[in-house]
Amino acid sequence: MESVESQIAEWRAYIANAPGVNGHDVDELEDHLRHQIDELSAAGLTPDEGFLIAVKRLGEVDGLAREFAREHSGRLWKQLLMSGDDEPARAASGWLEALVFAVGAAVAIQVARLAAGFPDEEPSWLARNATLFVLPFLAAYFARGRQLDTRHWVLTATPFVLLALVVNVYPWGADSDTEVLVVFSMPVVLWFVVAYPYMGGTIRAHDRRMDFVRFTGEWFIYYVLIALGGGVLMALIAGIFEPTGVDVDRIAAWVLPSGAAGAVIVAAWLVESKQRVVENMAPVLTMLFTPMFAVMLACAAVVYAVTGIGDAFDRELLSVFDALLVVVLALVLYGMSARDSSTSSRDWMDGVQLIAVVSALVLDLMVLGTMFARIGDLGFTPNRTAALGLNLVLLVNLAGAAWLSARFLTGRSTLHRLERWQTTYLPVFALWAATVVVVLPPLFAFD
C-alpha cells in the first residue's frame, strides 16, 4: 500500500503543476482516483495495478489540463498558448508585422503634423483627427492578424471613413464647445471600432467582448510603462545633448508624437505576444488599487453626502467626478475580465468591489441631482448634455452592477450573470460616445 501512496503523491504533484488546475481540482481528482483504485482492488487487482488503470482512465495529464484551462478561462489566447508548442514561429514573426504598422502610424502622424504646420500653428482639425491617424493602423494590425476576409475589412474600415467624414465636413464654429467634445469622444468611439477587428469580426460573442475589456486594461498598462520609459529616455537625451547646443525641444517635438502613435501598436503587440507577463502583473495591480479606490470613494460619498455637493459644484469638479467614475468602472470591469474563474467563489475582493460600486453610485446620483438643478436653471448646453448623458449611462451601469454583485455576494446569482450584464452593456458606452460625436454638434448648431 505504501508504494501506491507515494505514486499517488507523485501523480498529485505532477498534475498540480499543470496550468489551469488548482489545489481543489487536484483534491477532487485524487478522490476520484482513490475511488477507482478501491473498486479495482475489491475486484481482485493489486493496488499498484489499480493505480495504473485509474490513472489511465482519468486521461492524459496534458489533455486533462487543457480541458481545465479551457473551462477556467475559455479564452482564445490561452488555448493558443496551450497548443503553442506546435507553432512557435507565430510569435517570432509577429514583431515585424507590428513594427510595420507602428512605423505606419508614426509616419502618418508626422505627415499630419507637417500639413498642419504644428507646433507653430495648431489648427483644430489636427486635434479632431489625431486618433484617426493612429487607430486605423491598430485596426488593420488586428484585421491582418486575425486573417479577416474582404467583407470584414470593409466593415472595419467603414466606421473610420464615416467618422472622418463627419468630423471634417461639419461646419465647426470658432471656439466651438461641441468641437472640444468631439476631440475627447473620438478616441473612445474609435477604440470601440477597433474592437470589431480585435474580436475577429464578431460583435455578439460575450467571451470575446470580455477579452477586449481585458485587452484594453492590459494595453493601458503597457502603454503607461512605455510612456514612462520614453519619458526617462527623453529626459536623458535632454541632459546629454543640451550642452552640445542641440535644440532638444525641436527633437522632442518630432519624437514625441511619433513615439506616442507607434507605442499604441507596440503596446497592443506586447499584450498579444507577452500575455503571460502582463497576466501576472495586472491582477496584482487591480488588487492593489481597487481597495484604495473603494476607500477613497466611500470617504468621498460620505463627505459629500454630509456637506452637500451643491456649493462646490462647477465644471472642473464635474470632470473630476466623471473621470473618477470612469476609472472605477474601468477597474471593476478589468478586475472582472482578469478574474481567475477557477476561483469563482466569493472572496473579499468582491466585497471591496461592491463598496466601490455603491459609493460610485451614490456620488453619481448626487452629481446627477445637481446637474438636473443646473440644467433646470440655465438650460442645456453641449457640455451639460454630454455630461448628463455620460452620468446617466454610468448610473444605469453602476446600478445594474451593484444589484447583481449584491445578489452574487449573497449567493442568489452567479458571477456569470454579472459578467453578462457588463458585456451586454458595452455597446451603450460606444453608442453614447458616437452620439456625442455625430448627433450633438448639429443639435447645438456646431457651437
Q: How far is CA 350 from CA 20, 342, 439, in A?
A: 22, 15, 38
Let me know: does 51 contact 37? Beta carbons within 8 Å.
yes
Q: Supply the minimum distance, in Å, between the C-beta of residue 416 and another protein.
A: 6
> What letter does residue 44 receive in the DSSP assignment?
T
Interhelix angle 248-273/275-307, rounded to 10 degrees, is: 110
Let me know: does 290 contact 331? Beta carbons within 8 Å.
yes
Q: Supply the minimum distance, in Å, between the C-beta of residue 47 and another protein.
A: 16
- Reading the block at residue 261, the C-alpha cell is 502613435
Which CB, 319 or 341, lies closer to another protein?
A: 341
C-alpha 192/C-alpha 425 separation (Å) is: 13
Which CB, 62 or 247, lies closer to another protein?
A: 62
Which CB, 29 or 301, lies closer to another protein?
A: 29
C-alpha 23/C-alpha 194 separation (Å) is: 38
Which CB, 76 or 324, lies closer to another protein?
A: 76
Which CB, 59 or 310, lies closer to another protein?
A: 59
Q: Supply the minimum distance, in Å, between the C-beta of residue 336 and another protein.
A: 13
What are the DSSP calls for 110-155, one per residue? HHHHHHHTTTT---HHHHHHGGGGTHHHHHHHHHHHTT--HHHHHH
Which CB, 33 or 278, lies closer to another protein?
A: 33
Q: Supply the minimum distance, in Å, between the C-beta of residue 61 and another protein.
A: 9
- Reading the block at residue 173, the C-alpha cell is 464654429
Buried b (16+ CB within 10 A) or exposed e, 164-180: eebbeebebeeebbbbb
- Nearest C-alpha neighbor of 92 from the set 84, 82, 101: 84
Q: Supply the minimum distance, in Å, between the C-beta of residue 207 and another protein.
A: 12
- Reading the block at residue 128, the C-alpha cell is 479632431
Q: Supply the minimum distance, in Å, between the C-beta of residue 328 and another protein.
A: 25
Q: Supply the minimum distance, in Å, between the C-beta of residue 210 and another protein.
A: 13
Q: Supply the minimum distance, in Å, between the C-beta of residue 54 and another protein.
A: 8
C-alpha 358/C-alpha 314 separation (Å) is: 23
> What letter does residue 86 receive in the DSSP assignment?
G
Residues 60/64/65/70 CA torsion (nearest 10 deg): 150
Name the site residues for another protein (rule: CB under 8 A).
Answer: 24-25, 27-29, 31-32, 34-36, 57-59, 63-64, 67-68, 70-72, 341-342, 344, 413-417
Let me know: does 437 contact 167? Beta carbons within 8 Å.
yes
Which CB, 58 or 365, lies closer to another protein?
A: 58
Q: Supply the minimum distance, in Å, between the C-beta of residue 279 and another protein.
A: 19
- Reading the block at residue 165, the C-alpha cell is 467624414
Q: Supply the minimum distance, in Å, between the C-beta of residue 346 and another protein.
A: 13
Which CB, 83 or 168, lies closer to another protein?
A: 83
Let me know: does 56 contact 40? Beta carbons within 8 Å.
no
Which CB, 32 or 315, lies closer to another protein?
A: 32
Radius of gyration of the chain (CA): 27
Which CB, 46 or 342, lies closer to another protein?
A: 342
